[in-house]
Structure 1
Amino acid sequence: MLEQDNYSKGDMNKEKVAAEEQVDAQNQEVNNEEGTANNEAKTEDQGAEELSTEELSAEEQLKAESQELKEKYLRLYSEFENYRRRTSKERLDLIKTASEEVLKDLIPVVDDFERAIRAEEKEADNEKALEGSLLIYHKLLKVLEAKGLTAMDDLIGKDFDADNQEAITQIPAPTEDMKGKVIDVVEKGYKLGDKVVRYAKVVIGS
């Protein structure tokens, strides 16, 4: 009977140990599964971080490329505008230069017309010739003015201007207030726009 009790107690101890071992094994399995799950979660987090970094890097690269293309466009546009303005100015300068030579050559013709008109005015019986000369003279002046050529008129009594006039001589001023001013115009001056194409030859008072 004692042996049977001892045997039963041994069996019970064995079963208890086996049960404890089974519980430990189950706990170990659960721990392993949790560890695997944690590792998988960490791997997924790392993958998400790497993917996010790659997406951010690609976005930054696209922004940089966009900025570079914008700068290239602005440079090209600026260069084109400068080229357009430069060529327009050169074309206008060429037109002005070409017309300037022709207009300068016509100024002596205008001088001859004025001399002829003054001579005809002295002849009392030459009214029709004077009328014809004045008609042609004024028509010529209108054409020249339309091209930008203008005469420097009404200089007598005004201060001498070295930028537009050339003093060929000085004479004693008839009055005190005429000193340093234009007393007579020997030859008219002309401007093409703002540029002097022929200086006025004047006499000034001293």
Structure 2
Amino acid sequence: MPDLRDLRGRPLGRNGNPASARPAHAAGHRTRAQERIDEIDVSPTKLLADIEALKGELESTRTKVDEYLAGLQRERAEFTNFRRRTSEEREQMLGLAGEDLIRKVLAIADDFDLAIDNRPPEIADNSWVEGVAAIDRKLRALLESEGVRPIDAEPGTPFDPREHEAIATVPGSGRAEGEIVDVVRRGYKLRDRVIRPALVAVAAGEATNDAADAPPTH
């Protein structure tokens, strides 16, 4: 077959196109990539050492992650506790402010009690007196709507130091010792907590005959 060439003198292939140049590696030349590959140590010893090093780095990273996570959890717990304490303190402050206001209102309720209990009989049916009593009822309803309830201290009720405050003892009242004889001032609870004990007079025990007949000691 004749040696075919193009107008520039380049050899032509069988299909009439210029013959492709031979690749560089076919002529014995090495590329930079091949040289870099040859420089890489892929021996089993080197690979095992690299694996152990990576394991150490992974373990160190996990330890740091656990430390950061624990620190974050502590911060979140402290923040949650801070919010709870702040909320409780706020509720407590509001509660104290509310109690102070309620005590002032109770002082006004005491004045209504005195006015109604000591009204002269001749004006008991007066419309003005009825108006005062209506205002008193509205005031009681307002207190009840806020959770304020009167303490039970009717005569005959057993004295309870948690709810009652004895300011007098009454001998010969006909009631059992320790029972309430009279209420001097109403007491109140705010929900389940006593905010003002009831002032009461309590029946005293009768002296025994032996004690009454005993001569005085000097």
Decide: shared fold, TM above 0.5: yes
- Give how far 1:197 is off: 2.6
Q: In the superposition, relative to structure 1, how do residues 131 and 61 fare at CA in structure 2: closer, same or farther (>3 Å)?
A: same
The structure with more radius of gyration = 1
Q: For structure 2, which runs of at least 5 residues remain unmatched after alignment?
A: 1-41, 205-218
Among all aligned residue pairs of Structure 1 and Structure 2, give the percentage whose two residues are the same amino acid: 31
Q: In the superposition, relative to structure 1, how do residues 52 and 173 fare at CA in structure 2: closer, same or farther (>3 Å)?
A: farther
> How far, CA to CA, are the matches of 1:125 and 1:151 in structure 2?
25
* More RCO (CA 8 Å, sep 6+): 1
Quick one: which of 192, 197, 200 aligns to 1:199?
197
Match of 2:79, SS state, is: helix
For 1:151, the equivalent position in structure 2 comes to 150
Q: What are the Cα deviations for residues 115-136 of structure 1, in whole angstroms up to 9, with x where unaligned?
A: 2222347336634223212221
For 1:179, the equivalent position in structure 2 comes to 177
Q: For structure 1, which runs of at least 5 residues remain unmatched after alignment?
A: 1-42
Q: What amino acid is aligned across from residue 141 of structure 1 in structure 2? A: R
Instruction: Note if contact 1:121-1:130 (Cα within 8 Å) is conserved in structure 2.
Output: no
For 1:128, the equivalent position in structure 2 comes to 127
Q: What amino acid is aligned across from residue 81 of structure 1 in structure 2? A: T
Instruction: Note if contact 1:171-1:203 (Cα within 8 Å) is conserved in structure 2.
Output: yes
For 1:20, the equivalent position in structure 2 comes to none
> How far, CA to CA, are the matches of 1:74 and 1:203 in structure 2?
59
Q: Is residue 76 of structure 1 aligned with residue 75 of structure 2?
A: yes
CA RMSD after TM alignment: 2.2
Q: What are the Cα deviations for residues 23-46 of structure 1, in whole angstroms up to 9, with x where unaligned?
A: xxxxxxxxxxxxxxxxxxxx8121
Q: In the superposition, relative to structure 1, how do residues 133 and 153 fare at CA in structure 2: closer, same or farther (>3 Å)?
A: farther
> How far, CA to CA, are the matches of 2:70 and 2:95 in structure 1?
37
> How far, CA to CA, are the matches of 1:117 and 1:47 in structure 2?
103
Q: What are the Cα deviations for residues 94-130 of structure 1, in whole angstroms up to 9, with x where unaligned?
A: 1111122222122221111122222347336634223
> How far, CA to CA, are the matches of 1:125 and 1:179 in structure 2?
36
